């Protein structure tokens, strides 16, 4: 699709998706566009629509990137992605042992992928495990998405890790994935620092032992776990 010059997310939506579909009116019959289609033809139509949707999403992301700094990503609606995931590590000791890199820092860059997910850069304050440069880029499964009418922005959030955006502070337990990128350790590698206190993923079985700790207290807990004999 051709590149789009935009000043607002609405510009991106109108150019990529077109005007919103009319709102259904109560009591007015709905015309089924698939009525009478054989099953094979209907499925082929759905497959074409899915591929077209992927192309349009990629074009929307590329359009949005140029104006992303005008969007307050903390205030847009967030919706959970429906994905399957297993439990994280059963203890902090297991989590820190499994991690290849443990860092504290602040998110400074946010680069949505046209194929879904987000490349995210964190300015590293301290490497608690492993060797880190002054900044590290990792991949988040959560992503930005258009609103239903295509005119606004939402966040589609993986429930095993909340989406971190520029300005967010976090302590992250990272692992290198098969794609060569760093990823947050599943469920038990995500710790956001909000107002100086630790926030852990809801599905982290040992979150109660760290939630509400100060950043300094949590760092000390991680260092102690790293030094404990295994």
User: Splitting the chain (230 residues) into consecutive groups of 10 residues, what average pLDDT does each group show?
Assistant: 78 93 80 86 92 95 93 94 85 96 96 95 97 94 94 93 94 95 95 97 95 98 90
> Sign of torsion, CA 165 168 201 136?
positive
CATH code 2.40.50.120 region(s) in the chain: 92-227
d(CA 139, CA 118): 6
Q: What is the bridge-based pairing of β-strands 169-176 and 190-194?
A: antiparallel
Query: So what's the pLDDT on residue 3?
Result: 62
Provide the whole-model pTM: 0.87
- Burial class for 102, CB neighbours closer than 10 Å (0-12, 13-18, 19+): buried
Contact 117, 177 (CB under 8 A): no
d(CA 127, CA 149): 43
> Sign of torsion, CA 119 122 128 132?
positive
The phi and psi torsions of 196 (rounded to 5 degrees) equal 85, 0
pLDDT one-digit tens code per residue, 217-229? 999 999 999 998 8
According to CATH, the topology of domain 92-227 is: OB fold (Dihydrolipoamide Acetyltransferase, E2P) (2.40.50)
Query: So what's the pLDDT on residue 30?
Result: 75
């Amino acid at each position: 699709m051709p590149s789009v010059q935009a000043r607002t997310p609405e510009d991106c939506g109108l150019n990529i998706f077109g005007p919103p579909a009319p709102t259904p009116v109560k009591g007015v019959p709905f015309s089924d566009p698939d009525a009478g289609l054989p099953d094979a033809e209907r499925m082929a139509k759905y497959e074409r629509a899915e591929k077209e949707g992927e192309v349009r999403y990629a074009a929307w992301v590329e359009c949005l990137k140029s104006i992303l700094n005008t969007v307050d990503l903390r205030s847009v609606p967030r919706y959970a992605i429906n994905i399957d995931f297993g439990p994280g590590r059963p203890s902090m000791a297991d989590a820190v042992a499994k991690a290849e890199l443990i860092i504290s820092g602040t998110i400074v860059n946010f680069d949505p992928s046209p194929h879904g997910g987000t490349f995210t850069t964190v300015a590293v304050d301290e490497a608690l495990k492993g060797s880190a440069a002054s900044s590290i880029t990792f991949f988040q499964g959560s992503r930005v998405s258009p609103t239903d009418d295509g005119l606004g922005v939402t966040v589609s959030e993986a429930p095993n890790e909340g989406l971190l955006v520029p300005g967010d502070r976090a302590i992250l337990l990272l692992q290198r994935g098969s794609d060569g990128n760093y990823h947050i350790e599943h469920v038990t590698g995500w710790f956001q620092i909000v107002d100086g206190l630790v926030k852990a993923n809801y599905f982290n079985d040992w979150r109660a032992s760290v939630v509400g700790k100060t950043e300094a207290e949590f760092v000390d807990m991680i260092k102690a776990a790293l030094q404990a004999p295994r």
